[in-house]
Amino acid sequence: MSVIRSVITGTGSYLPKQILTNSDLEKKVDTTDEWIIERTGIKQRHIAAEDEVTSDLAVIAAKRALESASLDPNQIDLIILATSTADQTFPSTATTIQRKLGITGGAAFDIQAVCSGFVYALTTADNFIKAGQAKHVLVIGAEIFSRILDWEDRTTCVLFGDGAGAVVLSSQNGVGNNTDQGLLSSRIHSDGRYNELLFVDGGVSSTGTVGQLRMKGREVFRHAIVNLASVVGEVLEDSNMSSENIDWIVPHQANKRILDGTARKLKVATNKVIVTVEKHANTSAASIPLALDEAVKDGRITRGQVVILEAMGGGFTWGACLLRW
């Protein structure tokens, strides 16, 4: 039987030039390099320049992904951007990216699932491809979280950074079993009861302001490992696989302790987890494609391997994708 599969044919990423180290943060809030590294694994984060907006970061990552897929921008028939830090309230930042890439056809829209945004966007793109409604989709995660942080709150401002990552997802034929290349399973979840554990205290229809990020970190941490291990179990089961089949986990880069804890719960060796959080901190929807791009470009992820992408974020939202590279 021939089935349609969505295959990642190109990856790209971008981090703004300015770097803010933990030592720089010691001068702003009551924190230490040692505390941040021990509790999170983060050493530095990148901060967008004053004149840079989210679509600027996204366009650079997207161009790099298109180049690695050897595709022309006009071959893209759908752009899905995962972001919580849009350029404007409307239109969608995805349409701005479309304009900046010189694409005049197809469709473009944003997805809001905070740190799970990339998994949500990839799952959506996969469904468009499987339904035969798109052939080449640009899936991007891009964020400028530095603009929604309370720079006087040491419990949150040390954790986040700015960046963008992108993939090209293309339609290919498969035979319909788990030896196929491409996305074999994806699952997304949300539970709005946990809204108040991680949120931004502003918005268009509530305060009329942008607001700042607020988080009860310890409680988010507690839910993260349980939810992530559970959703990875679902995509493994969907694909008739077990954790022994996993070659790589490319997690949302929030905190090294969460990455290691989830791997341990899944009984996957921690050296199979791609970790980049030390270089760019938590970049929300951008973190999975940033980590993926690094591991693909440096040759760790190779064709045929089984790769898990997983994330959890505000809402709560969480999800995972299983793909054969």
Is 189 an active-site residue? Answer: no
Measured from the CB atom, the residue of 73 and 217 that comes closer to ligand UT7 is 217
Measured from the CB atom, the residue of 225 and 307 that comes closer to ligand UT7 is 225
Angle 33-40/256-266 helices, nearest 10 degrees? 20
With CB atoms as reference, the residue minimizing the distance to ligand UT7 is: 217
Please, which residues have CB within 8 angstroms of residue 242's CB and are 6 or more apart in sequence?
236
CB of 88 to ligand UT7, least distance (A): 24
CB of 260 to ligand UT7, least distance (A): 12
Q: Please count the helices (runs of H) and the strands (runs of E) in the chain.
A: 10, 13
Measured from the CB atom, the residue of 76 and 121 that comes closer to ligand UT7 is 121
Measured from the CB atom, the residue of 154 and 272 that comes closer to ligand UT7 is 154
List contacts with ligand UT7 (CB under 6 A). Answer: 31, 35, 39-40, 115, 154-155, 158-159, 198, 217-218, 220-221, 224, 254-255, 258, 282, 312-313
CA torsion sign for 38, 41, 47, 53 is negative
Measured from the CB atom, the residue of 115 and 236 that comes closer to ligand UT7 is 115
Instruction: Using DSSP bridges, classify how beta strands 78-82 and 18-21 pair: parallel, antiparallel or unpaired.
Output: unpaired
Among the listed residues 22, 46, 115, 227, the single catalytic one is 115
CB of 254 to ligand UT7, least distance (A): 3
Instruction: Using DSSP bridges, classify how beta strands 3-14 and 44-47 pair: parallel, antiparallel or unpaired.
Output: unpaired
Distance between CA atoms of residues 137 and 121, nearest Å: 10
Is 115 an active-site residue? Answer: yes
CB of 291 to ligand UT7, least distance (A): 13
Please, which residues have CB within 8 angstroms of residue 119's CB and are 6 or more apart in sequence?
113, 186, 188, 252, 288, 309, 310, 311, 318, 319, 320, 321
Among the listed residues 252, 255, 280, 321, the single catalytic one is 252
Is 282 an active-site residue? Answer: yes
CB of 292 to ligand UT7, least distance (A): 17
Catalytic residues, by residue number, are 115, 252, 282
